[in-house]
Chain A
Amino acid sequence: MSDSEKNYRLLSNLKVGETGEVVEFVNESALSQRMEEMGITPGEKIEVVRFAPLNDPIEIKIRGYLLSLRREEAELIKVKIS
Chain B
Amino acid sequence: MSKDPVLQPTVSLKKNLTIALAGNPNCGKTTVFNALTKLRQKVGNYPGVTVEKKTGRLELSRGRNLQVVDLPGTYSLSVRTPDEEVAREVLLGRSRGTPRPDLVVCVVDAGNLERNLYLVTQIQDLGLPIIVALNMMDEVKSQGRQIDVKKLSELLGVPVVSMIANQNKGIDDLKSLLEQEIKADYTRRWRMSPLLEEDLEAMVQVLIDKGGLTRPEAFFESLMLLSSAAHIPDKAYAQHHHIMFSKEVIDELNQINARLVRQGVRARSAAIEARYEWIKFIVKEAVIDTLAKAKNWTHKIDTVLTHKVWGWVSFIGLMTFMFYMIFTIATYPMDWIDSTFSHLGAVVEQSMPEGDLRDLIINGIIPGVGGVIIFLPQILILFFFIGLLQDTGYMARAAFIMDRVMNKVGLHGKSFIPLLSSFACAIPGVMAARTIESPKDRLVTILVAPLMSCSARLPVYTIMIAVLIPQASAWQKSGIMLIMYLLGIIAACTMGWIFKKTLLKGQKPTFILELPPYRLPSFKSVILQMWERSRLFLKRAGTIILTLSIVLWALMSFPRQDNVEPAEALRQSYAGKIGQTIEPVIKPLGYDWRIGIGLVGSFAAREVFVSTMNIVFNLDEEAEETTLRQAFKQAHWPDGRPLFTPLVCISLMIFYVFALQCISTVAIVLRETNSWRWTLFQLLYMTVLAYVAALAVYQIGKILGFT
Contacts and interface: CB of A to CB of B under 8 A. Distances in A.
A25 to B, nearest CB: 8
Contacts of B269: 28, 32-33, 36, 41
Given A34-B512, A63-B114, A57 B400 contact: yes
Interface in A52-74: 52-57, 59, 63-70, 72-73
A60 to B, nearest CB: 10
B78 A31 contact: no
A37 B403 contact: no
A57 B403 contact: yes
B511 A73 contact: yes
B404 interface: yes
B307 A36 contact: no
B458 interface: no
B403 A53 contact: no
Given A37-B118, A59-B306, A68 B513 contact: yes
30 contacts: A33-B78, A33-B227, A33-B269, A33-B272, A34-B80, A34-B510, A36-B269, A37-B76, A37-B272, A38-B75, A39-B118, A39-B276, A41-B269, A41-B272, A41-B276, A42-B273, A50-B306, A52-B400, A54-B404, A55-B404, A56-B407, A57-B403, A57-B513, A64-B111, A66-B517, A68-B512, A68-B515, A70-B407, A70-B511, A73-B511
Contacts of A73: 510-512
Q: Give me the 5 closest cross-chain CB pairs, A-B, nearest first.
A: A54-B404, A66-B515, A63-B114, A70-B511, A36-B272
A65 B111 CA distance: 9
Contacts of B309: 53
A69 B298 CA distance: 18
Given A38-B75, A68-B400, A53 B512 contact: no
A36 B78 CA distance: 12
Which residue among A35, A42, A66 has the maximum number of chain B CB atoms within 10 Å of its CB? Answer: A66
Interface of B: 75-76, 78, 80, 111-115, 118, 143, 227, 266, 268-269, 272-273, 276, 298-299, 302, 306-309, 311-312, 396, 400-401, 403-405, 407, 413, 507-508, 510-517
Contact of A53 (B143, B266, B306, B507): B306
Given A33-B269, A64-B114, A70 B308 contact: no
A70 B507 CA distance: 14
Interface of A: 28, 30-39, 41-42, 44, 49-50, 52-57, 59, 63-70, 72-73
A65 B516 CA distance: 8
Nearest to B393: A66
B400 A31 contact: no
Contacts of B510: 31, 34, 70, 73
Given A34-B512, A37-B118, 8 more contacts: A36-B272, A39-B115, A41-B269, A54-B401, A57-B511, A67-B512, A69-B512, A70-B511
A34 B276 CA distance: 13
B405 A37 contact: no
A68 B507 CA distance: 18
A72 B268 CA distance: 21
B568 to A, nearest CB: 60
A59 B400 contact: yes
Contacts of B512: 34-35, 38, 67-69, 73
Contacts of B115: 38-39, 63, 65
B75 A52 contact: no
Nearest to A35: B512
Contacts of A33: 78, 227, 268-269, 272
Nearest to A65: B112
A52 B401 CA distance: 6
A48 to B, nearest CB: 13
Which residue among B80, B268, B272, B517 has the maximum number of chain A CB atoms within 10 Å of its CB? Answer: B272
Contacts of A42: 273
B75 A59 contact: no
B114 to A, nearest CB: 4
A62 B144 CA distance: 17
Contacts of B312: 53
Nearest to A40: B512
